[in-house]
Amino acid sequence: METTIFGFKINPGRRRVAYTNSIARLFLCDSIDFEYAKELITKLSTGENTLADIDLLTDAYDCFGPLDEFSGSDLVVRSKHKLTEWFIKAGEPSEQDYEVLRKKFKIAVGPIRAFAKKVMRENIGSARRLAGEVKRFIKGQDEAIDRMAVNFFLHLESVRTGKSNPIKTPVLLMGPTGVGKSEIYRRFGQFCNCPVVRINSNEIVPTSWRGIHITDVLARHISDSCPVEKLRHAIIVFHEFDKIAAYGQNKVGVASSDIVVDMMRDMMRLFETGHSLTLENQMTQTTYELPVDDLMIVFDGAFYGLDKIIAKRLNVNRGIGFGTKAEQSADAASLMRQACADDLIKWGFMPELIGRIGEICVLNPLTPDVIYDIMTTAEENVLSAHIDYCRSHNISLQFNDAALRVIADRAHKSGLGFRNVKTLLARCMNSLYFDLDSNIDLTTGTKTITINKDFITRQLDRNQ
């Protein structure tokens, strides 16, 4: 079965451990660059050389010296150019690769991981590459991420060059609670190296009305760590965008003083070329001018009920409940993916505002299998946080597959999507953490805890 080891796709058969160790030696050897390593691995597949040949070669180059004198920091300092090329061409090592460096070669991988992430972030050269990086953290939403990636890549180029990009357009992200809307634009913000400002659409009022304005929220983000020069490239997210208008209320165009219409007009000012917002720091009475040309605008919302508008337009007559707390209907999800500007106008938005949105991206409701996939394969997931916490206390924490399936099923049935996983795990783990230092092996100073299905079920049922 084909697998990826340090960026190379190979079929090691039953010799995966041997292949991994030999390729890890190539990765650690400063005298062997990526292209040379690629040539050596290609010859493995053709039988022109063997793993023993590779090991002899790396020994001859004295690639890593005495292991007790070697560290991840040493590798980064000594092999910066080689690693940069490797990461750009092959991607960041997987968790399995890092585990080999940690266990087999006794190398602290923290500095290598940090350097890899820095290189990957600074050398994203296409929207496809950007989407791929985001997908390492977000599972089950590949189509939406791909559709968003072009505009975010254009924004990334603006951040890098300091030049405005006139072809960049706002993005609308739709989907029920807990499917990853906030996490998606947070990850895009990380890779674009810019601030993310989330504005609750139902808590702000237009400039001419008394209350909290868009400029007030933006002004609060100006600080020593986020000066106005950095804020000018911010990703501005209008959260719960669907709640400023509602289907059937006929608010749009009723009167020029209508708060909904005025709010939409305020938002449209963010798309005016050459326009600037005046921000005032209430504490220091300092005024700033924030150009809007370089901002990235995102709208998000659940849009409960929009499926009914779409069904009517398509002349589909069947009961559908997109976004309900019960299991999501496949028909509803399919309909939502057919949302268009006319549906949003019927919802209650001004055509002038909707016409400025370049991409309408619909996220999938999460199935139990996708929730399980997020827990087990997404980078920096909540499960890893529990495992890392226990490791810091000399405890090896392991989860049975069946135990994780119970968590995934309960989270799905809650109607809260992945958002409920953190809560469910906390309920299960609190009793364990209460008595964390019990039963430590006095000989080794460590212990192993395996979480099984019965433990998870018992803890969740007890805390209902």
In single-letter form, the type of residue at position 113 comes to: R
Alpha-carbon distance of 177 to 324, in angstroms, equals 10
pLDDT digits (tens, 9 = 90+) for 268-313: 999 988 999 999 877 778 899 999 999 999 999 999 889 999 999 9
What pTM, to 2 d.p., does this model score?
A: 0.77
User: How far is Cα of residue 163 from the mean position of the Cα atoms in its chain?
Assistant: 26
Q: What is the pLDDT of residue 327?
A: 39
Read off the pLDDT of residues 30-79 as tens digits, 9 standing for 90 and up. 889 999 999 999 998 888 989 999 988 888 766 555 444 456 677 788 88
Give me the pLDDT at residue 38, please: 93
**What is residue 441's predicted lDDT score, i.e. its pLDDT?**
58
Q: Is residue 234 a contact partner of residue 197, using CB atoms and an 8 Å limit?
A: yes
Q: What is the mean pLDDT of residues 88-102?
A: 88
* Residues 196 and 235: beta-carbon distance below 8 Å: yes
431-462 pLDDT per residue, tens: 888 887 765 555 556 688 899 999 999 999 88
Q: 350 with 261: CB under 8 angstroms?
A: yes
Banded model confidence at residue 330, pLDDT cuts 50, 70, 90: low
Is residue 325's pLDDT more than 80?
A: no
pLDDT at 2 exceeding the cut of 80: no
What the block records as the tokens of 82 is 């080689």
* CA–CA gap between residue 299 and residue 86 (Å, rounded): 37
Distance CA 417, CA 402 (A): 19
Q: Which residue has the tokens 């890893």?
A: 384
Q: What is the distance between the alpha carbons of residues 222 and 228, in angstroms, rounded to a whole number?
A: 6
Judged by DSSP in three states, 200 sits in strand
Residue matched to tokens 């906390």: 426
Distance CA 201, CA 427 (A): 32
Instruction: Give me the mean pLDDT over the 86-100 stretch.
Output: 88
Give the three-class secondary structure for 232: coil
- Quick one: which of 152, 151, 154, 131 has its CA closest to 143? 131
Question: Could you count the other beta carbons within 10 Å of the beta carbon of residue 361?
Answer: 22
CA separation for the pair 248, 124 (Å, rounded): 44
Of 317 and 359, the structure prediction assigns the larger pLDDT to 359
128 versus 447: the higher-pLDDT residue is 128
% the chain with pLDDT above 70: 89
Helices vs. strands in the chain: H and E counts, helices first: 22, 11
User: Given pLDDT bands bounded at 50, 70 and 90, which one contains residue 333?
Assistant: confident
pLDDT of residue 315: 86
Count of Cβ atoms closer than 10 Å to residue 443 Cβ: 6
**DSSP string computed for 149-182:** HHHHHHHHHHHHH----TT---EEEE--TTSSHH
List the one residue out of 197, 199, 182 whose CA is nearest residue 239: 199
What's the half-sphere exposure (Cβ side, CA atoms, 13 Å) at 2?
Answer: 5
pLDDT, tens digit (0-9, with 9 covering 90-100), for 231-281: 999 999 999 999 888 544 444 444 434 788 889 999 999 998 899 999 987
Least Cα distance to 189 among 239, 132, 276, 130 occurs for 130
**C-alpha separations of 208 from 131, 175, 196, 266, 308 in Å:** 39, 31, 26, 10, 34
Tell me if 83 sits within 8 A of 32, measured CB to CB: no
DSSP conformation letters of 257-321: T-HHHHHHHHHHGGGSTT-EEEEEETTTTEEEEEESTT-EEEEEE--TTHHHHHHHHTT--S---
Residue 418: helix, strand or coil by DSSP? coil
Going by C-alpha positions, the residue among 384, 386, 376 that lies closest to residue 430 is 386
Domains in the chain with CATH codes: 3-122 (no CATH), 127-362 (3.40.50.300), 368-462 (1.10.8.60)
